[in-house]
């Protein structure tokens, strides 16, 4: 069992709405993550804890109730992103149900929600997500354009074997795609974030097309495609892991990554491929189909 902590605040208000995920707020019911993805950006520092330093915010729902009551009284409605720097559906959630209680509070105060997850456990809460979608007060400029509950399943590849190297603690991509279809069949607007795709492993045209096509076949409403970033100490740890399994790729990474971010040229090529494939496969790139580089 992971450590339990009590927090004074759990709702974070953004300076501006995220143009991709549409959230004005974020809530993270836990600290850290058990999935051990070798590319996790929180490994780069600046998030207070390393991803392996796990803790459960046991009073998250109670604190959120107080914070949302105030926001709702002012009608400061906006999407709440659930799981921006943690996994909200780690295995421990089965017992603790902190995320489920958080969703209940969100539903009570009629805020829309965007759940970001790699876990299959999200299907447990389809009932609450449907309730949120029905009750949510959407920002005026989003009304009629999006539902009040979104779930985005994250993965870096649809290849199960490659995923065991990249995301060793997470459910397989095949399992995640099954949950995507279950969510869609359950009336939830759901999509896939291929973020990050991995240079030379899952970012090629063939690999991207396969991934986007499989997402479409599993009833994804939209997809995201985003580049790998290697901020801070993550660059060193990622390249060390890469060198153990794919030593021939390290030189190419050093060309693409002069610092923590890939070159503008690489990002432009990736975006152009994603746009072309999405158009050909009939899938929205982004929730509203309006992602720009």
Show the tokens assigned to 57.
């915010």
Is the model's pLDDT at 290 over the cut of 80?
Answer: no
Q: Give CA–CA dist 6/201, Å, rounded.
A: 41
Strand-strand pairing, 189-197 and 149-154: parallel
Q: Are 108 and 250 in contact (CB under 8 A)?
A: no
Q: What is the pLDDT confidence band of residue 258, given thresholds at 50, 70 and 90?
A: confident
Q: Are 228 and 38 in contact (CB under 8 A)?
A: no
Distances (CA, A) of 222 to 46, 142, 146, 153: 30, 16, 11, 11
149-158, pLDDT tens digit by residue? 999 999 999 9
For 55-97, write each residue's pLDDT tens digit: 999 999 999 999 999 999 999 999 999 999 999 999 999 999 9
The tens digit of pLDDT for each residue in 207-220 reads 999 999 999 999 99
132 within 8 A of 106, measured Cβ to Cβ:
yes
119, 172 contact by CB (below 8 A) = no
All structural domains of the chain, each given as residue ranges with its CATH number in brackets, are 4-285 (3.20.20.70)
Six-digit token pair at 257?
């990554």
Q: Is 228 helix (H, G, I), strand (E, B) or coil?
A: coil
- Do 90 and 36 form a contact (C-beta atoms < 8 A)? no
Q: What was the pLDDT predicted at 50?
A: 53
- The helix/strand/coil state of 45 is coil
């Amino acid at each position: 069992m992971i450590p339990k902590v009590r927090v004074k605040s759990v709702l974070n208000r953004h300076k501006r709405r995220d143009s991709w995920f549409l959230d004005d707020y974020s809530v993270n019911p836990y600290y850290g993550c058990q999935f051990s993805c070798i590319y996790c950006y929180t490994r780069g520092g600046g998030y207070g804890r390393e991803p392996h330093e796990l803790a459960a915010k046991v009073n998250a729902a109670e604190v959120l109730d107080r914070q949302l009551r105030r926001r709702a009284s002012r009608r400061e409605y906006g999407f709440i992103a659930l799981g921006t720097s943690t996994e909200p559906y780690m295995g421990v959630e089965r017992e603790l149900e902190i995320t489920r209680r958080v969703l209940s509070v969100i539903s009570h105060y009629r805020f829309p929600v965007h759940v970001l997850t790699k876990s299959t456990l999200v299907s447990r809460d389809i009932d609450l997500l449907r309730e949120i979608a029905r009750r949510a007060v959407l920002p005026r400029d989003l009304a009629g354009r999006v539902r009040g509950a979104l779930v985005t399943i994250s993965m870096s590849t649809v290849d199960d074997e490659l995923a065991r190297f990249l995301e060793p603690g997470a459910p397989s991509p095949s399992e995640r795609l099954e949950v995507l279809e279950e969510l869609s069949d359950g009336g939830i607007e759901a999509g896939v974030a291929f973020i990050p795709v991995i240079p030379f492993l899952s970012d090629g045209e063939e690999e991207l097309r396969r991934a986007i096509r499989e997402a479409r076949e599993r009833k994804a409403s939209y997809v995201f495609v985003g580049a790998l970033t290697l901020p801070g100490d993550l660059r060193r740890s990622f390249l060390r892991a890469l060198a153990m399994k794919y030593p021939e790729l390290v030189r190419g990474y050093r060309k693409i990554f002069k610092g923590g971010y890939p070159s503008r040229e690489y990002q432009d090529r990736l975006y152009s491929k994603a746009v072309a494939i999405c158009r050909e496969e009939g899938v929205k790139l982004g929730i509203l189909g309006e992602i720009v580089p």
